[in-house]
Structure formats: structure tokens, C-alpha cells
């Protein structure tokens, strides 16, 4: 599946950059890292995001080479607006790497 090169982070870019200020131990995510994960050809996509109340968002798990980590990216399908990005938990990262091994 071909995706746009980047998401629009103008509304939530600062939010993901400052995750650790709200939750001790969280990783701050640079929007450029989230965009790298977003364009990862091996990314796993749940559409719609299973945690979405509105059904308008997708959840993507992809790898950012710059950050050297697997990142979860949540975005609005319409307009490709970035909503949230966070470091993948161990289960999400394992699922990503297992899928990569099968590709």
C-alpha cells in the first residue's frame, strides 16, 4: 500500500514531542520519526484503529531508522492528520518484527 510521504503534525506535533512531560518514562517522539514509520513499507496497519471511538483513525506500527525504534502512529485517514505517536510496547514491536521476518 502506497502512502503519502508525511502526515500533517501542525496540530499535534508539540504533543508528541513532549510526551515525557506528561508521563514519566514516556519517549518524546519527533514528528519526522513518526513520518519515517508512516512510510515504512513493512508497516502494519489497523484500519480502522481498534481503539477508535469514531472509526475515523488508523493505527500504524512502523520502524523509524533515525529513532532506531518501532513507533505506533495514529492518524486521521481524511486529511492524513497525525493524532498521536508513541514508542511501540514490547508486544507491538515483537509483532512488527515477526511480520518483517515473514515478508
The answer, yes or no, to whether residue 1 has pLDDT greater than 60, is: no
Mean per-residue pLDDT over the chain, rounded: 94
Going from N- to C-terminal start, the domains of the chain cover: 13-102
Please tell me the predicted confidence (pLDDT) of residue 69.
Answer: 98
Q: Name 46's Cβ contacts closer than 8 Å, sequence gap at least 6.
A: 58, 59, 60
Band (86; pLDDT cuts 50, 70, 90): very high
Closest by CA to 30, choosing from 16, 19, 20, is 16
Could you give the CA distance from residue 72 to residue 65 in angstroms, rounded to a whole number? 14
Closest by CA to 88, choosing from 37, 39, 14, is 37
pLDDT tens digit string along 24-63?
999 999 999 999 999 999 999 999 999 999 999 999 999 9
Q: Which three cell numbers stand for residue 27?
A: 519517549
- What is the DSSP pairing of strand 69-76 with strand 57-64? antiparallel
CA angle 7, 57, 8 (to 5 degrees): 15
Amino acid at each position: 500500500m502506497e502512502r503519502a510521504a508525511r502526515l500533517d503534525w501542525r496540530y499535534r506535533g508539540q504533543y508528541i514531542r513532549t510526551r515525557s512531560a506528561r508521563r514519566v518514562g514516556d519517549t518524546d517522539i519527533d514528528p519526522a520519526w513518526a513520518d519515517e514509520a508512516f512510510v515504512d513499507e513493512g508497516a502494519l496497519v489497523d484500519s480502522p484503529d481498534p481503539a477508535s471511538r469514531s472509526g475515523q483513525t488508523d493505527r500504524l506500527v512502523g520502524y523509524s531508522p533515525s529513532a532506531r525504534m518501532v513507533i505506533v502512529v495514529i492518524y486521521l485517514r481524511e486529511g492524513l492528520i497525525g493524532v498521536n505517536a508513541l514508542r511501540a510496547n514490547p508486544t507491538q514491536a515483537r509483532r512488527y518484527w515477526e511480520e518483517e521476518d515473514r515478508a
